[in-house]
Structure formats: C-alpha cells, structure tokens
Amino acid sequence: MTTEALNRRAVVSTLLNNRDDLLVVTGLGSPAYDVMAAGDHDQNYYLWAAMGSAAMIGLGIATAQPRRKVLVITGDGEMLMGTGSLATIAVKKPDNLTIAILDNGHYGETGMQLSHAGQGIELHRIAEACGFDSTLAISQMSDVESLRDRIYSEPGLRFATIKVDPANQPRVLPPRDGVHVKNRFRHSLGFGTI
Amino acid sequence: MPKTQTQPHSGAPAEDQSSWQEQIYPILKSSGIKHIAYVPDAGHAKSIESACADPEMQSVVLTTEEEGLGYLAGAWLGGDRGALLLQSSGVGNCINTLALQACARFPLLMLVTMRGDWAEFNPWQNPMGQQTEKVLNMMGVLTWRADQPEQVAPLLKGAATMAFDGDTACALILGQQLIGAKEWVQ
C-alpha cells in the first residue's frame, strides 16, 4: 500500500497555521509561491535569486533575533546548492531555527529534471551527520502537524525533509521588489530605513 | 617560521605591520558590527582571533564565502550589522550571490585580503587575484584599496559609513604589498 504524496500547498498552510510571530524565509521558485499562496506577510522574506542562500539567511535572522522563531521553507534543489551551510549552521547551533525542505525530488522551475534528492540523496541525513538537534523525514500530514507544533512550542535546531507531490501548482508570485520586502520585514521588527 | 606566517613589505617597520591589523577590529566594533562571518585567512588572523574572543560578537566560520552574503543579509533583516572577511579567491565564489545585495540593497562590508596581486609565488592565485576588484565592481560592489598601513583605518571607516548609512555593498581590498609576501621557504 502506498501513501498518497503530500500536497505542498497543504504542507505549507499547515506549517504556517496561526503563525504568531514566526519569521519566515523562502528559497526561490515553488517554495516562495507556496508561502505566498498561504498569505503574504510582513515577516516573510522571499528569495528570487541567490540560490543556496535561504538557510544562511535563516541563520542570520535567528542569530540576530534569538528570541524569535525562524522557519526556512525551501526546496531540495535550493538546499543542495547550499549543502555546506548545514555544517556552518550546525556549528553555530541556534535553538530557534527550523529548516523545512519541500522535497519533490525534482527541479520544478526548470522542467522537472530529477534532483539528487530524487535519486536517493537524503538531505535530512546530511543534517543529522552535521549534528542538528532533530532531523526528520516526513511523508504524512500528521507528522507535518506535529512538526508545526514543535516549531512553536520547543526550542531546538531542526531539519525536516517533507516529501511532496512533484506536480507543479499554479504560480502565486510574491513581490519581486527586494528592497520593499527587506524594508517591510525590518519595519515589522521595529527597524527603520536609512 | 610556519608557511602561514607573512613578512612585512620591504622597508616597513615591524610595528607598522601589526598596527594596521590591530586597528581593524576596533573600527568594526565602533561601526556597530555585531557579526563577523569569515573564511580563515592569515591576513585576517588578528581580526578573527579578536572576534572569536569577544563574547559580544557573533563569529561565524563559513564553508564557502557566499554563505556569508546570505548570513549578513539575514542579520540585517534581524536588525544587526556585520562584516565578511575573505580572501580574494573567495570573491569568485560570491559572484552570483551578490544579486542579493544588488536587488535588495542590503548593506555589505567585505574585507578582502589579496593573493595573486603582488610578489605572488603561486601563479594559480593570479587569475582570480588579478580580477578580484574588477569582478566586485562589475557586480555593483564599491571598492577601496589599501597598499600602505596608514590607508587601512580611514578607508575602512569610510567603507563602513557607505555600507551601513547608504545600504551599499562595499569592499576594502587589503593588497599584498600591505600584507606582505607569503613566505614559502622554511
């Protein structure tokens, strides 16, 4: 018996349900559209380039804002491009950071070519080898729900690979004005512009 | 002497060599910097040592330089200033990621120690070293170059001002004439 692959939009909506004061970073492409589809928010930072940087931006926010919880939502391809950052993050070991990978095993934005994750590379095991407090491979919605609850209720450095259906969803485009999104995010935390 | 040690450029007194290196960290601190992201380099050894020993400083050792661009953008989103210490070879690793600074106008302060610049024994350093400043300029990063010890402090202060008061990507280039030729013979 096979379980039905998770719908990425439902996964992201679940993670962001009653998001409270969660700070969110997205990788470029589908994860940004998924987070936007769940509702634009001043405390979202969407990437449109700099592939491989989402996790490090999350580390920077988590370090500068140690009392806030930070969630990075990105794809397997984006995380693969910044795999070394898992070592950097594990050495720094913030207790307020979760990296959630929407793993469809493909490069969805460029024509659905198989990614390394789609050919057997298990990203959460790389995070585990680096020493993350908690590493998960998730394929059921009930586990997404319990991850969501732990993000909000328990400190820790977490990494979760969430297996999702590779089908592309309709694009819901976040703002492309990086200066606007940056200043909006900072303003929501009480910081001004130059 | 171990291979990682450097010698002062010809004619410079030893205290000048140490003084520019000792000036950097206090200037970073007085510029309000709370995060130092770095890839280790002998030319940055003093600043790295000071950062790691400072409980008020977040020190982040990177596996590759472009990680620092993301990290410092995140720190700025969270309200903090930071600087990236790297070698000229690492500038090459940063090229595509510099879109982050260009498109979102994140402030950036880089300190780049040069190789392949002057008196370089290892020609494999030359291709990147000879293009480092041009590549930074092509990606929208403003650059200033220090080849004499007395240039370091004013150029660093000016770069920090333009980075954090102007949302600008800035790099201070620390030339090999300043750092000294790397000594390869024991």
pLDDT score at A3:
64
- Report the pLDDT averaged over residues A46-59: 97
With bands split at pLDDT 50, 70 and 90, how would you rate the model's confidence at B63? very high
- The reply to whether A85 touches chain B by the CB within 8 Å rule is yes
Phi, psi of B181 (to 5 degrees): -70, 140
Residue A54 within any structural domain of the chain: yes
B140 at A interface, C-beta within 8 A: no
Predicted confidence band of residue B2 (pLDDT cuts 50, 70, 90): very low
In a domain, A88, yes or no: yes
> How far is CA A122 from each of CA A118, A132, A167, A191, rounded to the nearest angstrom?
9, 14, 20, 39
Contact A181, A175 (CB under 8 A): yes
Give pLDDT tens digits for B124-169.
Answer: 999 999 999 999 999 999 999 999 999 999 999 999 999 999 999 9
In-domain check, residue A173:
yes
Look at residue A10 and tell me whether its pLDDT is greater than 50.
yes
E-strand ranges in A49-178 read 70-75, 96-103, 106-107, 113-114, 134-138, 156-163
* Cβ–Cβ gap A182/B60 under 8 Å: no
**Is the Cβ of B141 closer than 8 Å to some Cβ of chain A?**
no
According to DSSP, the β-strands at A96-103 and A113-114 are unpaired
Tens digits of per-residue pLDDT, B90-131? 999 999 999 999 999 999 999 999 999 999 999 999 999 999
The pLDDT tens digits of the residues spanning A122-143 come to: 999 999 999 999 999 999 999 9
- Nearest Cα to Cα of residue B23 among B177, B162, B175, B151: B151
Q: Does residue A1 register a pLDDT over 60? A: no
CA dist B114 and A170 (Å) reads 47
The number of residues making up chain A comes to 194
C-alpha distances in angstroms, B25 versus A8, B34, B35, B66?
46, 11, 12, 22
Q: Can you say whether residue B32 is alpha, beta or left, with left for phi > 0 and alpha for psi between -120 and 50 degrees?
A: left
Q: Which of B72, B97, B104 sits opposite A60 (nearest CB)?
A: B72
pLDDT at B3: 41
Identify the CA nearest to B164 among candidates B40, B33, B1, B17. Answer: B33
Q: For residue A109, what pLDDT band results from cuts at 50, 70 and 90?
A: confident
- Residue A117 domain-assigned (yes or no): yes
Please tell us whether the domain made up of B14-177 is placed in CATH 3.40.50.970.
yes
In chain B, whose CA is at the least distance from the CA of A50?
Answer: B97
Which one of B35, B63, B97 has the shortest CB-CB distance to A53? B97
| A152's tokens | 């909000």
- Domains of chain B, by residue range, sit at 14-177
Q: Is residue A1 part of a domain?
A: no
Residue B40 clears pLDDT 80, i.e. is over it: yes
The parent domain of residue A74 ranges over: 8-188
In this prediction, residue B8 carries a pLDDT of 46
Question: Percentage of chain A surpassing pLDDT 90?
Answer: 93
Q: Does B166 touch chain A (CB under 8 A)?
A: yes
Average pLDDT over chain B, rounded to whole? 91
- Could you tell me the pLDDT band of residue B15, with boundaries at 50, 70 and 90? very low
* Residue among B63, B74, B166 minimizing CB distance to A61: B74
Between helix A84-92 and helix A123-130 the angle, nearest 10°, is: 40
- Mean pLDDT over residues A44-71, rounded? 98
Taking the C-alpha atoms of residue A36 and residue A23, their distance in angstroms, rounded to an integer, is 14
What's the pLDDT tens digit per position in A135-164? 999 999 999 999 999 999 999 999 999 999
CATH code at position A127: 3.40.50.970
Q: Which of B87, B80, B88 is nearest to B58 (CA)?
A: B80
Q: How far apart are CA B180 and CA B175, in angstroms?
A: 8
Residue of A nearest to B166 (CA): A194
Average pLDDT value over all residues in chain A: 96
Best A25, A81, A182, A185 residue to mutate vs chain B (most B CBs within 10 Å)? A182
Domain count, chain A: 1
Q: What is the reported pLDDT for B9?
A: 47
Work out the average pLDDT over B82-92: 98
From the number of C-beta atoms within 10 Å of its C-beta (0-12, 13-18, 19+), residue B14 rates as exposed
A180 assigned to some structural domain: yes
